[in-house]
């Protein structure tokens, strides 16, 4: 007698399924083995071979994104001398970043205008440096950068709080502060000179030239 097609098919797939289940179980058993392979669980676990589980970091190892190969950018030095130029062009946007960073991190001691008389100084902290002395006006930008990156005297460093590009933005803003207190009349843009002429406040002496 001829068996109808669909009956034979059903019979063969019923025979196949126990095989598939067995195969799946085998695979799952494999997973379990990998989960339970011998390994050290914590970084400081004792290791017979290396002393402890986490290996020492090689002294020359550099984490991704932390290569400090740009002397000017990272140390504020150029060929072993304090840098006299910025590592990147200064834009208005950078100056504005510098202003907010300066006001947050430096003004408490150096004052908003940079005379070294911020609120902390008023409260008794040693007088911070004024940026409006001849010495600081003619100091190379590298000296300001290094004060932020490495600290100076009683002033601690800001390396952990202010990233490299923002340190330079602060330096640029300090330069702007210095100009704001000590610009020669002749250096001013023509329209500002005209404004001053109108209000009658311009004299070379008054502008500190």
- Residues in contact with ligand HEC by the rule CB under 6 A: 105-106, 108-110, 120, 125-126, 128-129, 143-144, 147-148, 152-155, 158, 162, 170
Please report how close the Cβ of residue 114 comes to ligand HEC at its closest, in angstroms. Answer: 9
Question: Residues 119, 187: contact at Cβ < 8 Å?
Answer: no
The Cα 80–Cα 30 span in angstroms is: 60
Please report how close the Cβ of residue 207 comes to ligand HEC at its closest, in angstroms. Answer: 24
Which is nearer to ligand HEC, 159 or 197 (by Cβ)? 159
Which is nearer to ligand HEC, 53 or 149 (by Cβ)? 149
Tell me which residue has its CB nearest to ligand HEC: 153
Which is nearer to ligand HEC, 72 or 128 (by Cβ)? 128
Give the contacts of 64 (CB within 8 A, at least 6 positions apart).
none
Q: Please, what is the Cα angle at 194 between 180 and 175, to 5 degrees?
A: 15
The Cα 54–Cα 46 span in angstroms is: 9
Question: Residues 136, 142: contact at Cβ < 8 Å?
Answer: no
Which is nearer to ligand HEC, 21 or 152 (by Cβ)? 152
């Amino acid at each position: 007698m001829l068996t109808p097609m669909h009956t034979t098919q059903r019979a063969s797939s019923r025979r196949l399924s126990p095989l598939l289940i067995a195969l799946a179980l085998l695979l799952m058993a494999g997973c379990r083995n990998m989960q339970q392979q011998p390994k050290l669980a914590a970084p400081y676990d004792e290791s017979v071979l290396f002393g402890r589980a986490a290996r020492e970091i090689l002294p020359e190892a550099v984490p991704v994104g932390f290569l400090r190969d740009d002397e000017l950018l990272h140390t504020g030095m150029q060929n072993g001398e304090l840098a006299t130029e910025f590592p990147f062009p200064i834009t208005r946007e950078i100056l504005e970043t510098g202003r907010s960073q300066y006001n947050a991190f430096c003004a408490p001691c150096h004052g908003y205008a940079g005379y070294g008389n911020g609120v902390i100084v008023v409260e008794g902290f040693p007088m911070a440096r004024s940026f409006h002395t001849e010495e600081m006006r003619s100091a190379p930008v590298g000296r300001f950068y290094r004060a932020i990156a490495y600290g100076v005297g009683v002033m601690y460093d800001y390396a952990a709080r202010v990233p490299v590009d923002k340190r330079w933005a602060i330096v640029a803003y300090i330069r702007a502060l210095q100009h704001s207190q000590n610009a020669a009349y002749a250096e001013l843009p023509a329209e500002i000179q005209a404004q001053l002429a109108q209000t009658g406040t311009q004299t070379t002496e008054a502008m500190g030239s």
